[in-house]
Every structure is written in structure tokens, then in C-alpha cells.
Structure 1
Amino acid sequence: MLDTKARHLVQPGIERTARMLLKVGLTADHVTTIAFVIGASSGIFIYLDLPFWALFVLWFSGFLDAVDGTMARLTKPSSFGTVLDVSYDRLVEISVILGLAFRFPDAMWALLLLSVSIIYAMTIFLTVGAVSEKNGVKSFYYQPGLAERTEGFVLFSLMIIFTDFLVPITLLFLAVEIFTSLQRLNEARKILKA
């Protein structure tokens, strides 16, 4: 929801960074990979009980994830770049979940349920994107929903900071993912009915 509704507020900074990185010779795929490596380290920082660093690398990777898409649109987007971007995003999320699960094994059951809900929500998102006509600046149909990347980062951040409430926050995240899945299924039914 925030990615769709509030992107215009941060886009000028994202675009300046994208242009600067293009000038120094980086490509969108380079930045996608850098964002992945930085973001995937968040799980290690969580496991080592370094929440500040976990949050920093998570959000910095998220910023770079927005920058790489802008870089691609300023140059020539590639289908392989889209595959890298989407798959690396999931690996960063997996890193956070694994870091929390190994640091807090009593919460593993809730984290497992969250993982399943993210897999299902992404399956709907990607399938609808694949079978729908492209409409917008992204390389595939981007189906908005309550839980987009920023909402996920906010909820992951709460899970990292408020570990005494890890299970309730994880279950809240699960509920948001379930709602988003139902929301996207309903939209898919409408747009693909024809």
C-alpha cells in the first residue's frame, strides 16, 4: 500500500541516487546484487543480537532495491533483472525470518506460518503479474495490496526491535499477509474474468 501510495514522496531522492550510480558506471543489476548482499546480512545481525545493524542493512537494502528499478527504467529494463530483483527480495526476507527463528526458537512456529503466507501471497502476485497485461512503469503487472515491500519492512522492523512481542507481531504480519492474499485473489478474479 505504501509503495503504491507514497512512492512519489521519496522518488526524487531515489532518482538522484539512481542517476549518480549510473554516472559511476553501475548497472541496475549491479545495484540489485549489492542490495541483496547487504539485505541478506540482516539475518546474521539478528542472530548475533545486533538489532541496530540488522535494521540498518535491511532498510538500506530496501532503498537500493527501489534505486535499481529506477536505474533500469532510466536505461533499458531487462527481464532477467526483474527475475533477480524479485528473487533477491525473497532471499532478504528469508534471511530475516531465519535470523529470528534461530535467535528465538520458541517463535519458530509463528515464523513458519508467516513464511508460508508470504510464499502464497507472492505466488498470487507473480501469477497475476505473469498472466495480466503490463500496465504501468514496472516490467510486469504490479498488483497493489495492503502488504507491499514497505509494510513488510515495517513489520520486520517491529519484530526485530520488540522481540518480547515477537509472536504477536508475527501473527499480525501473518494476518496482513492473509488479508493481502484474499485482496489480490479478489482483484485477480475481477481483472482476469474477461
Structure 2
Amino acid sequence: MLDRYVRPLIDPPLNRAGRMIAQVRISANMMTTFGWVLGILAAVAIAQHSYWLALALVLASRLADGLDGAVARATQLSDFGGYYDIVADFVFYAAIPMGFIWADPAANGVAGGALLTAFYINGATFLGYAILAAKRNLTTSARGEKSWYHVGGLLEGTETIVFFVALCLFPGWFVPLAWVFALLCVLGAAARIMMARQVMRD
């Protein structure tokens, strides 16, 4: 929901940094790999109850995720790069809740499982919409230049990053925060299904 407002603010500095990174021959795919590796390390830190380290790794991971697109725009966008980026994003989105489940399976297991289920449902509506949008030659740049159709929703990248930051800052609140975010994910997925029904009606 907030990505369309955040992107105009963060894209100019990211694009400048992306051009500098491209000059030292670091590719967009290398940045993508760096981002998801940092995300996995953040999950490991959470499992070890090192929440401040996890917070730093989460923020570094998302910075790398923003820079991979900037590097691609400074060099050459590719279909594989776009595909690899979304796969890496989903690895990150799964890893952080798993970190909290590993940290305390008894306390966090059910809420963490519900959150992962909601992410799965939300991801299905998000990617399914993108596939059919490509089939219908739909385009949008509201959330930055992408290799595929990036449909919006109630919860997007900005909200998810804020949510993960909040979890690292207040790990004792994981269970209620996870349930609330899971519910919002499901509501967003339902809204996207209704939107798809209107847009893609034959």
C-alpha cells in the first residue's frame, strides 16, 4: 500500500548507488544473492535470540534487495534477474518467521505457522495475478520499474519490512503481531482476488 509513495523517495539514491556498484563490476544477481544470504543469516540470529544483530541483517538484506534492481537498471534488465529477485524475496519472507519459530517453537510455532500460511496465500494471489497480467500485456510502473507486473495490495514490501523490524525490536510481541499481520495478509489476498475478477473478466 505504501510502496507507491516510498519508491519516489528511495529510487533516486538507490539508482545513484546502483550506477557506482555497476562500475566495479558487481552484477545485479550478485546483489540479489547477497540480499538473501543476509536474510538467512538474520533468521539464524533470531533463532539464537540475537535480535539486534538480526535487525541489522534484515535492514542490510533489504538494502541489497533495493540495490539489485538499481544495478540492473544501470546495466541491463533481464527476465532471469527479475525471476531470481522474486525467488530471493520469498526466501527472505519465509526465513524471518522461521527464525522466530526456531527461537521458541512452543510459544511461536502456531502463530509462525499461520503467518507462513498467510504469506503463501498472499504470494499465490500476487504471482498468479502477475502471470495473467503478462498474458494480457498489462503494465505498471507505480512501484518502480520491474521485469514483471507488480500488483499492489494492502501489504507490500514497505509494510513487511516495517513488520520485520518491529518483530526484531519487540520479539516478545511476536505472537500477537504475527496473528495481526497474517490476518491482514489474508484480507489483502482476498481483495486482490476480487480485483482480478474485475480486471480479468472475459
TM-score range, shorter chain: over 0.9
Matched residues in 2 for 1:93 and 1:48: separation?
18
* 2:139 corresponds to: 135
Please list every run of 5 or more consecutive structure 2 residues that lacks an aligned counterpart in the other structure: none
Matched residues in 2 for 1:153 and 1:108: separation?
21
Aligned mate of 1:173, from 163, 178, 181: 181
TM-score, reference length from structure 2 = 0.91
Corresponding residue SS for 1:76: coil
2:182 corresponds to 1:182: no
Q: Judge conservation of contact 2:42–2:53 (CA < 8 Å) in 1.
A: yes
Corresponding residue SS for 1:26: coil
Q: Judge conservation of contact 2:17–2:70 (CA < 8 Å) in 1.
A: no
Spell out the pairing of 1:44-193 with structure 2 (5 A cutoff). 44-105=44-105, 106-132=107-133, 133-136=137-140, 137-193=145-201
Q: CA deviation at 1:4?
A: 2.0
Runs of 4+ displaced beyond 4 Å: none
Matched residues in 1 for 2:58 and 2:138: separation?
29
Matched residues in 2 for 1:134 and 1:81: separation?
20
Q: CA deviation at 1:173?
A: 0.8
* 1:7 corresponds to: 7
Matched residues in 1 for 2:63 and 2:201: separation?
36
Q: CA deviation at 1:134?
A: 4.1
Q: Judge conservation of contact 2:82–2:146 (CA < 8 Å) in 1.
A: no
Q: Judge conservation of contact 1:36–1:92 (CA < 8 Å) in 2.
A: yes
Q: Judge conservation of contact 1:134–1:140 (CA < 8 Å) in 2.
A: no
Aligned residues: 194
Which amino acid in 2 is paired with 1:26? Answer: I
Residue identity (%): 27
Deviations along 1:56-89, whole A, 9 cap, x unmatched?
1111111111111122223221111112111111
Please list every run of 5 or more consecutive structure 1 residues that lacks an aligned counterpart in the other structure: none
Matched residues in 1 for 2:172 and 2:201: separation?
45
Q: CA deviation at 1:97?
A: 1.2
Q: Judge conservation of contact 1:35–1:60 (CA < 8 Å) in 2.
A: yes
